Amino acid sequence: MFVEKLQKHLEQESNRRLPQHVNRISSIGWPCDRFLVYSIVAWHDRDSITPELQSIFNEGRKHELLIKQDLATIGMDIIWSERPVWFEAERLSGHIDGVIAYRKSHIAVEIKSISQFVFDKVNTADDMQYSTKPYMQCYLPQLQLYMYGFDLKRGVFLLKNKQTGEIKEIPITLDKEYARYYLNRCYPINDSVDKIRQILKETYQVKEIADLKKKGDQDDYLAIKEDAYKIIDTYLPDRICDFDICKDCSFRTLCLPDEIREERARLFINTELEAKLNRRQELMETRKEYNAIDTEVKERIKEVNTLTNESFIICGDFEITVKQGKTTRVSIKKIGEETNTKE
């Protein structure tokens, strides 16, 4: 009952898409300009995440709070927690995890909880900057921009191993040239966004004045819309063609390059395999119902069984064996078929 409600809540969270109006510091390091433009002008087309991934994100926020509490217990109080950072000209915003006042200086803090596999591999700033994981390439620009925005010379990453609870720190020194590189990256992004928004605005205006019940107006609007999207495509940054990046992109269904689609598709064109995959999906959909009924039946049998050690029950065409021990084993078989046993 409780798990089902929690699962439903996770599903609702994972399906939620929120509008993005400006560039975000947390993602400005993503290695694809087209992704950054889509994030603003096509946020509603972003792929929803799985409930499992949403749960991982939620756990990350919990780990962040725990680390802040642990720091407070050793006298390292975090100030400016979740304080906003805003670069007006670049239309770039974010919220810093916090700042530690330490020995008459202020140190920017960015907290990340990561898997043990990644934790063991990340020990320096370069390990993040040159990681094959796009989300990790965003880490260093994020902290550098927070430091630049608050004019802090020192920063530190606190990385937590989600499996063991182990924490490591990676000190960072402000690099203004590095931070300005990512600030400058915002200008072509904003230029594309402004042009696309203008085309969309004009297209919406046409839709508002058109009488779409009339075939002539409807045809005209569809033609204008088609032309508008052709123009928009010219304003979008060029696609990259890197499967290691595209496979983790939340706009991959909208944008995935044909080269990658074709290359990957050729590997899996097999009618026999496709048939088995379809059958596999059918079985998955019935498995939950089977498990639920199987559990219900066996629990009912345990309730009506009054004998000790071992007993036999005949119910219609089924023969049921109940064995008592540390656990109760229930075996069910249709007469003439193999036994299905479950403790």
Q: How far apart are the C-alpha atoms of 89 and 149, rounded to whole Å? A: 13
Give the residue numbers spanning the domain of 40: 2-182
Question: CA distances (Å), 330 to each of 48, 50, 226, 326, 336, in order?
Answer: 42, 36, 64, 13, 18
Q: What's the pLDDT band for 293 if we cut at 50, 70, 90?
A: confident
Let me know whether 277 and 136 are in one domain: no
Let me know whether 15 and 140 are in one domain: yes
Provide, rounded to the nearest whole percent, the portion of the chain with pLDDT above 70: 85
Confirm whether 261 is domain-assigned.
no
Q: How far apart are the C-alpha atoms of 147 and 180, rounded to whole Å? A: 12
Render pLDDT for 187-197 as a digit per residue (tens, 0 to 9).
999 999 999 99
Confirm whether 265 is domain-assigned.
no
SS3 assignment for 219-249: HHHHHHHHHHHHHHHHHCCCCCCCHHHHCCC
Let me know whether 153 and 276 are in one domain: no
Which carries the bigger pLDDT value, residue 49 or residue 315? 315
Q: Which residue from 108, 135, 136 is spatially nearest to 122, judged by alpha carbons?
A: 136
Let me know whether 8 and 146 are in one domain: yes
The pLDDT score that the predictor gives to residue 109 is 95
Let me know whether 138 and 28 are in one domain: yes
Q: Of 182, 199, 224, which marks where a domain is finished?
A: 182
CATH of the domain at 137: 3.90.320.10
Confirm whether 220 is domain-assigned.
no
Render pLDDT for 74-118 as a digit per residue (tens, 0 to 9).
878 788 888 999 999 999 999 999 999 888 889 999 999 888 889
Overall domain count for the chain: 2
3-class SS of residue 121: helix
Let me know whether 149 and 277 are in one domain: no
Let me know whether 163 and 306 are in one domain: no
Beta partners for 98?
109
Q: How far apart are the C-alpha atoms of 95 and 73, rounded to whole Å? A: 24
DSSP E strands in 103-153: the ranges are 105-114
Mean pLDDT of 199-223: 77
- Residue 305's contacts (CB-CB under 8 Å, 6 or more residues apart) are 311, 313, 322, 328
Let me know whether 275 and 178 are in one domain: no
Q: What's the pLDDT band for 211 if we cut at 50, 70, 90?
A: confident
Mean pLDDT of 172-180: 97
Question: Helix and strand tally (H, E) in the chain?
Answer: 13, 12
The pLDDT score that the predictor gives to residue 61 is 76
Let me know whether 291 and 172 are in one domain: no
Confirm whether 256 is domain-assigned.
no
Q: How far apart are the C-alpha atoms of 136 and 178, rounded to whole Å? A: 16
Render pLDDT for 76-86 as a digit per residue (tens, 0 to 9).
878 888 899 99
Let me know whether 176 and 70 are in one domain: yes
Which carries the bigger pLDDT value, residue 244 or residue 58? 244
Q: Of 121, 154, 182, which marks where a domain is finished?
A: 182
Confirm whether 23 is domain-assigned.
yes
Let me know whether 176 and 52 are in one domain: yes
Let me know whether 177 and 277 are in one domain: no
**Two tokens, residue 64:** 């962040």
Mean pLDDT of 128-141: 94
- Residues 97, 109 contacting (CB under 8 angstroms): yes
Q: What's the pLDDT band for 35 if we cut at 50, 70, 90?
A: very high
Q: How far apart are the first and last CA of the chain?
A: 22
Q: Which residue from 74, 71, 54, 61 is spatially nearest to 6, judged by alpha carbons?
A: 54
Confirm whether 248 is domain-assigned.
no
Instruction: Report the amino acid identity of residue 201.
Output: K
Q: Of 182, 213, 238, which marks where a domain is finished?
A: 182
Which carries the bigger pLDDT value, residue 201 or residue 248? 201
**Two tokens, residue 188:** 């072509």
Confirm whether 250 is domain-assigned.
no
